[in-house]
Every structure is written in C-alpha cells, then in structure tokens.
C-alpha cells in the first residue's frame, strides 16, 4: 500500500490562523474584562438605559427638572393639606398669611385691613326722655356750662360730664342713678369740681358730698371715668 504524506501548511495559512485566534481571544477578553470607567455616553445606544436597569432611589430630586412635571391630583400638598389638587395649593398657602378683610367689630370700627377704634357712643343726657331723671333737687347749672350726661366707650369705660346745682348733698342723696351696664364693679369715691367728692356706687347712684365749710351749691362731674362692671 502506498503511504500518503500530508503537506505542511503554508506560511500564509499559519499567519492567518494566528490572526484569527488573536481576534477571537481579544473579543472574549473585551466582553468579560472591561476596565473601570471605560464605558461612557458615546458607548451607550439611545434608549439603552430602561427603568428596570435603574437602581431604586438612585435618581434624587436634584437630578430632576421639575419645570416639566405636573401633579394631576395632589391630595396632600406640602403647605395645604386641604388642597384637593396642586392648582389650589398656591392659593391655600397664601391664604394662611393673608390680611383680614371685611367690616371690623367690637372695639374697632371701619373695615380691614385698616380699621380704627370705634367712637364713643352718644351722650345720655340726664333728665332727657328715656334717660335717668334728676333726683333730690339737682338740676343742670345751665348758663352755657356742660350738662349732666354719661356715655360708654368701646373699651367699656364710662365717662361722666356735667355741672350741677341746687340739690341735697351727702351719701344716700343721689343726683341721678346710672342704669345697669354703666355701673362700677366696686363703690367709688372720686374728687369732683367745686372742692367736692362724688360717690359712684354699684347701685348706680351718683351722690355729691358736701365739702366742710363750703357754701357753694354747685358740683362738676367733668373728667370722671371708670371701668364698667363686666
């Protein structure tokens, strides 16, 4: 039997095989052993990073452009728990610091945001129809002097005025009696004009005390004020 002899590969074939093995080995190395920081934005295809590939909590608020975000149904806005949607959240926030509006009441008059103190009520003239009467011979002094009257201001203070004459002096002889709501919490003993003193009692009596040795028959109440019983 005749023996066959295999021909030795040509140098060109050997070089080609070596180049093929190197190429295949380099691809496997590149696929399994990439150096750190070797992949950048140029190596990533468009839409290559999808939601499942993003680590939870990896994207923080500082990385988000909020200008394009909308909140269709914000049940609990940060500063407006009562806002049913985000469109009303701004209005609810500003409402907490808004100045009051509308008519003022109590000790104030006018309207907000710039009300003023309510003025004192009209004087209640002693002896006029529907008002307390003079007692024990007392009358107005007249001749252009102030008439006996009382009024209460918005803070609850009662003010007295008037120049009186001709009545009976002493505790228990009222010149007139203040109605309920215009009486002091405690009995008062206050100095009045013409060197006399006035007793203003919790019963509403306004009594004029006689000054020892004086023959003057007049008394003045101008300037007397006290806090009404609450």
Helix segments in the chain, DSSP class H: 11-32, 86-95
Q: Which residues in 169-204 are b (16+ Cβ under 10 Å) and which e?
A: beeebbbbbbeeebbbeeebeeebbeebbbbbbeeb
* pLDDT single digits (tens) 30-76: 555 566 666 667 666 777 677 777 777 676 766 677 666 665 665 55
Report the alpha-carbon distance of residue 141 to residue 33 in Å, rounded: 118
Domain 131-227 = CATH 1.10.3470? no
Report the alpha-carbon distance of residue 86 to residue 104 in Å, rounded: 33
26: DSSP letter:
H
Query: pLDDT > 70: what percent of the chain?
Result: 59
Report the alpha-carbon distance of residue 69 to residue 59 in Å, rounded: 15
Q: What is the largest distance, in Å, between two alpha-carbon atoms of the chain? A: 177
Gyration radius of the chain over CA positions: 51
- The predicted structure's pLDDT at residue 91: 61
SS3 assignment, position 62: helix
Report the alpha-carbon distance of residue 189 to residue 195 in Å, rounded: 13
* pLDDT single digits (tens) 116-128: 777 889 999 999 9
Contacts of 62 (CB under 8 A, 6+ apart): none
140: enclosing H helix or E strand:
strand 139-140
* pLDDT single digits (tens) 189-207: 998 876 789 999 999 999 9
The overall pTM is greater than 0.75: no
Q: In the chain, where are the structural domains located?
A: 131-227
């Amino acid at each position: 039997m005749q023996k066959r002899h295999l021909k030795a590969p040509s140098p060109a074939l050997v070089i080609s095989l070596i180049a093929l093995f190197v190429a295949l080995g380099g691809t496997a190395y590149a696929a399994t052993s990439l150096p750190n920081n070797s992949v950048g934005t140029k190596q990533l295809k468009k839409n290559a990073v999808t939601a499942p590939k993003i680590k939870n909590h990896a994207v923080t608020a500082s990385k988000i452009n909020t200008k394009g975000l909308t909140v269709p149904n914000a049940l609990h806005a940060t500063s407006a728990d009562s806002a049913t949607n985000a469109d009303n959240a701004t209005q609810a926030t500003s409402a907490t610091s808004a100045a009051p509006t509308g008519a003022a009441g109590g000790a104030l008059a006018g309207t907000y945001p710039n009300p003023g103190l309510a003025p004192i009520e009209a004087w209640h003239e002693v002896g006029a129809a529907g008002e307390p009467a003079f007692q024990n011979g007392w009358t107005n002094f007249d001749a252009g002097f102030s008439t006996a009257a009382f009024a209460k201001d918005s803070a609850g203070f009662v003010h007295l005025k008037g120049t009186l004459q001709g009545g009976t002096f002493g505790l228990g002889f009222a010149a007139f009696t203040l109605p309920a709501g215009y009486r002091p919490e405690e009995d008062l003993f206050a100095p009045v004009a013409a060197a006399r003193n006035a007793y203003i009692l919790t019963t509403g009596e306004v009594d004029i005390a006689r000054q020892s040795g004086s023959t003057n028959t007049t008394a003045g109440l101008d300037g007397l004020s006290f806090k009404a019983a609450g």
